[in-house]
Amino acid sequence: MDHVELTTDPIDIGAAARRFVSDECGATVTLDGYVRRYTRGRETEYLVYEAYEPMALKEMEKLIERAKAEFEISHVGIVHRLGKLEIGETSVVISVAAPHRRAAFAACEWLIKELKRTVPIWKKEVYAGGEEWIEGETPEPR
Amino acid sequence: MQVKVLFFGDAADAAGTRESPIETADEATAGAAMSALIEKHPALARHRLLFAVNEEYADAATPLADGDTLAVFTPVSGG
């Protein structure tokens, strides 16, 4: 049992973090990723996130399958918010429940790195002088 | 063949549209469709572009079928 979601509503981190408490698990590691004010010396006013939604959900599901093959974990939840986000608002929550915390930490780190590389979501940074779509680092998604 | 084309993010801004259906030769590849799209929307050529066919990552060699959906976008930046 896993969970993938795209939403324009504020994300309930607490609900996400406690979604998968089950008998065989001893820890859930939750990443709360939120909008930072300063990036590369520039002050952000707000961000706008856009997604190729059906493909983003599929890629998120694929990521979870890969994570489960790679790490000894039980459940994964990925929630990504779309639309306009203010400084400090949560854009992504990844929660990983596992029998032991080490695998949960490692898988959570891996999942955010891979999400940023492969899931078709784009962020536009709006700042005082203008706006810019941010380009990801790696062009080849495989 | 009729191919449905979707643009996202910076690619949509460059193309000036989010959708741009095109007609291609039978057995065209994604690469051939991209060339046609760049002719139709020249500003696209300024960007590093990735594409997906029917919601799966594809490359220039990926064959297209009638009615397929080609999505064109810049490197992803979620998270």
Residues A139, B50: contact at Cβ < 8 Å?
A: yes
Residues B77, A135: contact at Cβ < 8 Å?
A: yes
Question: First-to-last CA distance in chain A?
Answer: 26
Helix residue spans in B1-79 (DSSP H): 9-15, 30-40
Contact B76 A92 (CB under 8 A): no
Confidence band for A40, pLDDT divided at 50, 70 and 90: confident
Q: Phi and psi at residue A5, in whole multiples of 5°?
A: -155, 140
Distance from CA of B26 to the nearest CA of A (A): 25
In chain B, what residues touch A142 (CB-CB under 8 Å)?
Answer: 57
pLDDT tens digit sequence for B7-47: 999 999 999 999 999 999 998 999 999 999 999 999 999 99
- Partner-chain residue, chosen from B6, B13, B76, that has the shortest CB–CB distance to A118: B76
Q: A81 CB near a chain B CB, below 8 Å? A: no
What is the predicted pLDDT for the residue at A141?
52
What is the predicted pLDDT for the residue at B75?
96
pLDDT tens digit sequence for A61-82: 999 999 999 999 999 999 999 9
ipTM associated with this complex: 0.95
Token pair recorded at residue A62 = 């694929």
Sorted by sequence, the CB contacts under 8 Å of residue B76 that are 6+ apart come out as A116, A117, A118, A119, A120, A121, A122, A136, A141, B50
What is the predicted pLDDT for the residue at A137?
76
CB atoms within 10 A of CB A44: 17
Residues B1, B26: contact at Cβ < 8 Å?
A: yes
pLDDT tens digit sequence for A10-31: 999 999 999 998 899 999 999 9
Query: Which pTM was predicted?
Result: 0.95
